[in-house]
């Protein structure tokens, strides 16, 4: 048994935990970061980084094909794409992340951490870490596996397998029309799998405007994906080494692999939450300061996927910076207050969470996808059809929406769908966070000829 004391103990060395720890160290606090698997977390090894490495070459090839005069021979070379992905993930070697942490002044411990009392964490049941100021939980999320008869009999991929596999299955079925489902359906279709996408609704990406799901479906169909809308998986069984999938309505499919992409739940199953009066497996609900609700003493903080707020790397890292700044300020005896948009509140979680779906076409959205009922909101939808988009790609197809608060005449939501719209998104995020009045936004003149010209068309369509 060992016993050590730090100012701050951070559980979970994913991107969010790394940020919380680095920021606490920057604030002068002695901090330890604990991970039971790989420092760098899901994002670096099995999620954001490898999935984008798998998608980018296919998007680049499709973009090149849309330009007459660009000589594009052949298809994707999956082996080379996997090699490049492995370069980014270091084939699972997290020594670079550990080195970075030590360089940033963070102490690391590897092992399974459980909360064992107030301001106390025990690693692997034998190393006690005491926190003078705070414990920060950044344990991320784990896949949610639906209870479907026969699922355990067949060859199933989760998102980890879908982002790390180096063999292309002949037939891949994908269950789930969320971000992971559509991204991986397109990536693997472009590597040569025959992909069947099974979705419960009329279109994928239900959290976005309908035109987003519709345009993504058009892109998937162009890549040969068969989309089974208003469907679901009822039962699965193994037949001659393949998966036989029974869908709603009696349709059946045969696949070599089934990717289950049906969402995630907080990674709190075995975290010792019971020791502080919380339920194992539950979401760690937090105040905007990062303090976990329903725990006395304001010493337990959480950030990232585990809080169920905005399950995105960038947003989790933002919450981590806020929580660490709150801890640092309190440790120094400085007041933190609760005023919105202060450094001590993750206010943006409520108004301006940006997210990109890296399919072709891309979906880039921030704030509200649609007007809220009972609010003075108005949506304006237009095609992205400006000089910049026409020059960018022949037959450019895209759509944009703004949601305007008509009383304050500011934006509360923006969505772009189209090729290469991801980097337009930050302009929208700035407009929403800055609450830039539309009559002032009018003076932000987009360069000619760029896809950003869509901003001018949107304001004109609103009536300016
Ligand atoms: C396929 C896929 C693609 C994605 N693409 C994107 C994207 O493009 N952009 C984006 O913003 N988001 C993306 N996401 C979401 C993103 O991966 C998560 O939001 C992000 O990883 C959350 O970071 P985190 O640090 O909270 O959790 P994680 O990255 O899950 O890290 C949690 C860490 O905690 C450790 N841990 C857990 N329990 C314990 C314990 N008891 N003791 C010690 N250590 C523990 C784990 O080992 C892990 O290292 C994607 C997700 C998936 C599945």
DSSP for 320-366, please give it: HHHHHHHHHHHHTT------TTSTT--THHHH---EEE-SSSEEEEE
Atom 13 of ligand 1, residue of closest alpha carbon? 48
State how far the Cα of 248 lies from the Cα of 278, in Å rounded to an integer.
38
Q: How many angstroms does the Cα of residue 316 sit away from the middle of ligand 1?
A: 9
Q: Peptide bond preceding 361: is omega within 30 degrees of 0, i.e. cis?
A: yes
Calpha distance 151→234 (Å, rounded): 10
Per DSSP, the three-state class of 142 is: strand
Q: With beta carbons less than 8 A apart as the criterion, state whether 141 and 47 touch.
A: no
Q: The dihedral of CA 127, 128, 129, 134: what is its sign?
A: positive
Gap from CA of 154 to ligand 1 centroid (Å): 26
Q: Is the pLDDT of residue 155 over 90?
A: no
**Dist. CA 397 → ligand 1 center (Å):** 33
Mutating to test ligand 1, I would choose from 14, 18, 53 the residue with most ligand atoms within 8 A of its C-beta, which is: 14
Closest ligand 1 atom, residue 304 Cα: 26
Q: Stretch 244-270: mean pLDDT, rounded?
A: 97
Give, as one character, the DSSP assignment of residue 286. Answer: B
Ligand 1 pocket list (CB less than 6 A):
11-17, 34-38, 41-43, 47-48, 51-52, 112-113, 138-141, 159, 163, 180, 267, 271, 304-305, 311-314, 316
Determine whether 243 is exposed, middle or buried from the number of CB atoms within 10 Å of its CB (0-12, 13-18, 19+): buried
Atom of ligand 1 nearest to the CA of 114: 41
Report if pTM > 0.85.
Answer: yes
Q: What is the pLDDT of residue 249?
A: 87
Q: In what order do the strands lie in the sheet with 156-157?
A: 156-157, 257-260, 171-175, 194-198, 226-228
Task: Give me the chain's average pLDDT, please.
Answer: 97
Residue 423 CA to residue 388 CA, distance in Å, equals 14
User: 97 alpha carbon to ligand 1 midpoint, in Å?
Assistant: 14
Residue 159 confidence class, pLDDT cut points 50, 70, 90:
very high
What does the pLDDT look like over 39-94, one tens digit per residue?
A: 999 999 999 999 999 999 999 999 999 999 998 887 899 999 999 999 999 999 99
Q: How far is CA 71 from CA 63, 68, 191, 391, 458, in A?
A: 12, 8, 20, 18, 35
Mean pLDDT for 290-319 is: 97
Question: Which residue has a Cα nearest atom 41 of ligand 1?
Answer: 113
CA torsion sign for 418, 434, 348, 18 is positive
Q: What is the DSSP letter of 293?
A: T
Centre of ligand 1 from the C-alpha of residue 340, in Å: 27
315 touches 353 (CB < 8 A)? yes
Atom of ligand 1 nearest to the CA of 48: 5
CA 312 / ligand 1 centre spacing (Å): 8
> How far away, in angstroms, is 450 Cα from ligand 1 center?
35
Mean pLDDT of 307-323: 97
Quick one: how far is CA 164 from the chain centroid?
17
Residue 178, CA atoms < 13 Å, CB-side half-sphere? 13
Residue 118 has pLDDT above 90, yes or no: yes
Closest CA to 137 of 276, 334, 343, 330: 276
Higher pLDDT: 75 or 187? It is 187
């Amino acid at each position: 048994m060992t016993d050590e004391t730090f100012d701050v103990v951070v559980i979970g060395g994913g991107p969010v935990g790394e940020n919380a720890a680095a920021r606490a160290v920057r604030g002068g606090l002695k901090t330890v970061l604990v991970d039971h698997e790989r420092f760098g977390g899901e994002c670096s090894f099995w999620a954001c980084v490898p999935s984008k490495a798998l998608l980018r070459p296919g998007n680049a090839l499709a973009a090149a094909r849309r330009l007459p005069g660009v000589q594009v021979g052949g298809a994707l070379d999956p082996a080379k794409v996997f090699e490049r992905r492995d370069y980014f993930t270091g084939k699972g070697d997290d020594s670079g992340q550990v080195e970075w942490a030590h360089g940033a002044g963070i102490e690391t411990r590897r092992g399974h951490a459980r909360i064992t009392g107030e301001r106390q964490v025990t690693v692997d049941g034998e190393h006690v870490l005491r926190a003078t100021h705070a414990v920060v939980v950044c344990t991320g999320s784990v896949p949610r596996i639906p209870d479907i008869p026969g699922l355990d009999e067949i060859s199933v991929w989760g998102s980890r397998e879908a982002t790390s596999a180096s063999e292309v299955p002949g037939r891949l079925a994908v269950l789930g029309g969320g971000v992971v489902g559509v991204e991986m359906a397109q990536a693997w279709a472009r590597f040569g799998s025959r992909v069947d996408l099974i979705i419960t609704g009329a279109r994928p990406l239900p959290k976005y405007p309908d035109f987003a799901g519709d345009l993504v479906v058009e892109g998937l169909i162009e890549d040969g994906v068969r989309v089974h809308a208003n469907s679901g998986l009822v039962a699965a069984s193994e037949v001659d080494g393949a998966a036989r999938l029974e869908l709603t309505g009696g349709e059946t499919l045969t696949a070599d692999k089934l990717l289950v992409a049906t969402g995630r739940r907080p990674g709190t199953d075995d975290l010792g939450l019971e020791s502080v009066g919380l339920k194992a497996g539950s979401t760690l609900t937090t105040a905007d300061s990062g303090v976990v609700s329903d725990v006395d003493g304001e010493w337990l903080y959480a950030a990232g996927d585990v809080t169920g707020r905005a399950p995105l790397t960038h947003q989790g890292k933002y919450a981590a910076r806020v929580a660490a700044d709150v801890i640092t300020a309190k440790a120094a005896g400085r007041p933190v207050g609760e005023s919105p948009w202060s450094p001590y509140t993750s206010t943006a979680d409520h108004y301006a969470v940006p997210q990109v779906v890296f399919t072709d076409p891309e979906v880039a959205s921030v704030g509200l996808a649609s007007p809220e009922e009972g609010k003075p909101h108005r949506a304006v939808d237009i095609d992205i059809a400006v000089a910049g988009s026409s020059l960018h790609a022949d037959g450019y197809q895209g759509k944009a929406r703004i949601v305007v608060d008509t009383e304050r005449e500011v934006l509360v939501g923006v969505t772009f769908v189209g090729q290469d719209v991801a980097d337009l998104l930050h302009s929208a995020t700035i407009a929403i966070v800055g609450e830039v009045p539309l009559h002032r936004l009018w003076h932000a003149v987009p360069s000619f000829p760029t896809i950003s010209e869509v901003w001018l068309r949107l304001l004109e369509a609103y009536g300016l």
